[in-house]
Amino acid sequence: MFVDEARISVHGGDGGDGCISFRREKFVPKGGPDGGDGGHGGSVVLVANPELNTLLTFRYQPVYRAERGRHGEGAHRTGRSGADLEVPIPVGTVIFDEDRASVLADLAHPGDRYVAARGGRGGRGNARFATSTNQAPRRHDPGEEGETHVLQLELKLLADVGLVGFPNAGKSTLLSRISAAKPKIADYPFTTLAPMLGVARVDDERILVVADIPGLIEGAHAGAGLGDRFLRHVERCRVLLHLVDPLAPERELGPAIDAIDRELALYSERLAGKPQILVLTKKDALQDETVVEAARREAQARGRALHVVSAVTGEGLTGLLRAAADAVAGLDAA
């Protein structure tokens, strides 16, 4: 089950109390205060883990507490500090405060870490307060409380290539053909209800991570259809394959392309600026070759490459994958 939003509560461990103790041993001439300090509380640390791709775990386990520090003891013994609690989260997770007013961290790379709740400092024992004028202090510090926060987690999938387009444009079929992913495929709109990742091999040296995003409709940037809930996943993709269905009688090619471009731009300027490759799908079922020529004109007018493919027969897929890999490589070289 794919879950891309979660709310969690994190609690740093409390620090241990300092100890009040006096050394009293038979035949030992020098006594005095010997209370040790308390140990520090552990912190809750969120760590980006590339093996995870959903926030489902946090729906069932929303509370995380680090270990508290032990209290100090006599004979100047410091209490043991609490262990940090490392919580693995998917790479690409954005961490917000409780009200989503500000971004606290964006763990976009494997191994990225964010200290979500710091542990409290351990208190001082009475040995710390001994002076020449106060040789038997009965004072100690209690341990500090650990931080407590409520956080909002939002996952944005990381992929080299994102598939965008209207519902039933052939995105899931394309992903199933170029990778081992098994998305649900049917002849009705919004078959894809959650983003799905697949790994496509281009050649012996190159692979691409491809994200299939649920179909967009006009008004998606404002939440229409499945809306902006999934547009954020496209933000992480480096290159977009804009799939166009030539068999949709209710949409002309030019207006259909413009409609998706408009939704991307209204959602984010950064999203609108990503490199795009136009893909005319379902070539195996296309009877009218004038549609292909019209698509070429539309692509040329927008300064984009066009690939005509059939996910059913495999025609054009090799060239499409190479073009997408070259586009990604061009971004790396820039």
Report whether pLDDT(187) > 60: no
Smallest CA-to-CA distance from 248 within 219, 286, 297 is with 286
pLDDT on residue 27: 75
Place of tokens 């009040």: 20
Sequence-distant (6+) residues with CB within 8 A of 199 are 179, 180, 181, 207, 208, 209, 210
Calculate the alpha carbon distances from 186 to 38, 158, 172, 173, 174 in Å.
62, 26, 9, 9, 13
pLDDT, one tens digit per residue, over 277-294 is 999 998 888 887 888 898
Q: Is the dihedral of CA 250, 252, 253, 258 positive or negative?
A: negative
- Model confidence band, residue 220 (pLDDT cutoffs 50, 70, 90): very low
pLDDT (mean) for 51-68? 92
Q: Report which of residues 219 and 54 the model is more confident about.
A: 54
Give the Cα separation of 21 and 36 in Å (integer).
8
- Residue 321 pLDDT class (50, 70, 90 cuts): very high
pTM of the model: 0.74
Where does the pLDDT of residue 188 fall: very low under 50, low under 70, confident under 90, or very high at 90 and above?
Answer: very low
Task: Tokens 């956080």: give the residue.
Answer: 151
Q: How far from chain centre, in Å, is Cα 235? A: 11
Q: Residue 25's closest CA among 61, 66, 65, 75?
A: 75
Confidence of residue 224 (pLDDT cuts 50, 70, 90): very low
Task: With a cut of 70, say whether residue 2 has pLDDT above it.
Answer: no
Of 180 and 58, more confident: 58
102-144 confidence digits (pLDDT tens):
999 999 899 999 999 999 999 999 999 999 889 889 999 999 9
Pairwise pLDDT comparison (4 vs 92), residue with the higher score: 92
And the tokens for 1? 């089950």
Structural domain boundaries of the chain? 5-155, 161-333
pLDDT band at 158 (very low <50, low <70, confident <90, very high): confident
In angstroms, the Cα distances linking 31 to 23, 59, 75, 135, 190 are 5, 55, 10, 10, 79
pLDDT of residue 217 exceeding 80: no
- CATH number for 161-333: choose from 3.90.190.10, 3.40.50.300, 3.30.110.40, 1.10.10.10: 3.40.50.300
Element (H, E) at 84: none
Partners of residue 153 on adjacent β-strands = 6, 95
**What pLDDT sits at residue 120?**
97
**How would residue 221 be classed by pLDDT, with cut points 50, 70 and 90?**
very low
What pLDDT is stored for residue 194 in this prediction? 66
pLDDT band for position 225 (cuts 50, 70, 90): very low
User: Which pLDDT value is given to residue 143?
Assistant: 95
Largest Cα separation within the chain, whole Å, is 107
Q: What is the predicted pLDDT for the residue at 317?
A: 93
CATH architecture of 5-155: Distorted Sandwich (2.70)
Is 21 within 8 Å of 79 (Cβ atoms)?
Answer: no
> What does the alpha-carbon distance between residue 133 and residue 107 come to, in Å, rounded to a whole number?
53
Q: Which amino acid is at 260?
A: I
Kindly list the distances between the CA atom of residue 44 and the CA atoms of 8, 28, 65, 87, in Å, as whole numbers in the listed order: 12, 44, 7, 7
CB 128 within 8 A of CB 193: no
- Length reported for the chain: 334
Q: Say if residue 81's pLDDT is above 90.
A: yes
Mean pLDDT, the chain, as a whole number?
Answer: 86
Q: What percent of the chain clears pLDDT 90, i.e. is strictly above it?
A: 48
pLDDT reading at 195 higher than 80 = no
Residue 334's pLDDT band, with cuts at 50, 70 and 90, is low
Residue 223 pLDDT > 70: no
Give the range among 8-12, 61-65, 73-77 with minimum mean pLDDT.
73-77
pLDDT band with cut points at 50, 70 and 90 for residue 333: low
